[in-house]
Amino acid sequence: MTTIRRANERGHANHGWLDTRHTFSFADYHDPQWMGFRSLRVLNDDTVAGGGGFGTHPHRDMEIITCVLSGALQHRDSLGHESVLKPGDVQRISAGTGIAHSEFNYSPVEPVHFLQIWIQPDRKGVKPAYAERSFGSGAQQGLTLVASREGRDGSASIHQDADVWLARLGKGAEATHVLKPGRHAWVQIAEGEVTLNGETLRVGDGAALSNETEFTLAAKTPAQALLFDLN
């Protein structure tokens, strides 16, 4: 079964410095039908204006993944990490017992566009940790594992039985993903236009898949998507 979540159905808030769209309930946006999907709790599509950003704030017991699509995002945290994330970079924060961080647009002029994802951990009270992985700005095509429980194949490790894949497809290219019995998937289109088992999905659209054995993404234009394989 496939359930489509269209881009224009998402929650939306424009704070001037931040233009944000919420696939699932978040902050002042609440929809009891969209509280998350399996362990995937938050999927925000954020554009921060030049010079803007999120001041230092705390988190606990959440796996937070940030994927930069365009621009540059400056990170600082209470563990002492400082970095600037660029397109193709993926950041993972395991908040655990507590971490404070800030995320600001590195440019005073150009916007930064990124996806922020929260995955509920399979246990609480872990030691806070931080990791980054760089997957370039689009050279590698197909499916690339960017986060997983064991941190396998060079991905960032998370405290949950979930695999996060980055799909990059040139026009006309396809990628097929097989789901093991009892597994579920969420697909989020970050750029371009694809078909998912024949259903057209455009930028900002998402889809939940359950009771499926496999599915295929076929790019109608150059496209980029995130694929979550969840228990």
The tens digit of pLDDT for each residue in 16-44 reads: 999 999 999 999 999 999 999 999 999 99
- Predicted confidence at residue 140, as pLDDT, reads 66
State the DSSP code for 59: E
Structure tokens at 99: 């971490």
Give the confidence band of 165 by pLDDT, cuts at 50, 70, 90.
very high
Res 139 pLDDT > 80: no
What end-to-end distance do the CA atoms of the chain give, in Å?
16
106-128 tens-digit pLDDT: 999 999 999 999 999 999 999 99
- Predicted confidence at residue 34, as pLDDT, reads 97
Q: Average per-residue pLDDT in the chain?
A: 95
Q: Identify whether the C-beta of residue 229 lies closer than 8 Å to the C-beta of residue 165.
A: yes
- Predicted confidence at residue 198, as pLDDT, reads 86
Res 137 pLDDT > 70: no
- Predicted confidence at residue 85, as pLDDT, reads 96
- Tell me which residue of 41, 47, 50 sits closest to 21, measured CA to CA: 47
Res 138 pLDDT > 60: no
Q: Would you mind telling me the total number of residues written for the chain in this entry?
A: 231
pTM: 0.95
Res 187 pLDDT > 80: yes
Q: How distant, in Å, are the alpha carbons of 38, 140, 155 from that of 126?
A: 21, 33, 19
Q: Say how far apart CA 106 and CA 220 lie, in whole Å.
A: 33
- Predicted confidence at residue 141, as pLDDT, reads 83
Average pLDDT over residues 208-212: 96
- Predicted confidence at residue 136, as pLDDT, reads 78
Q: Say how far apart CA 83 and CA 103 lie, in whole Å.
A: 10
Average pLDDT over residues 66-71: 96
Q: Say how far apart CA 158 and CA 133 lie, in whole Å.
A: 13
Res 228 pLDDT > 80: yes
In this structure, how many other beta carbons lie within 10 angstroms of the beta carbon of residue 6? Answer: 12
**DSSP labels, 60-128:** -S-EEEEEEEES-EEEEETTS-EEEE-TTEEEEEE-TT-EEEEEEES-SSS-EEEEEEEE--SSSSPPP
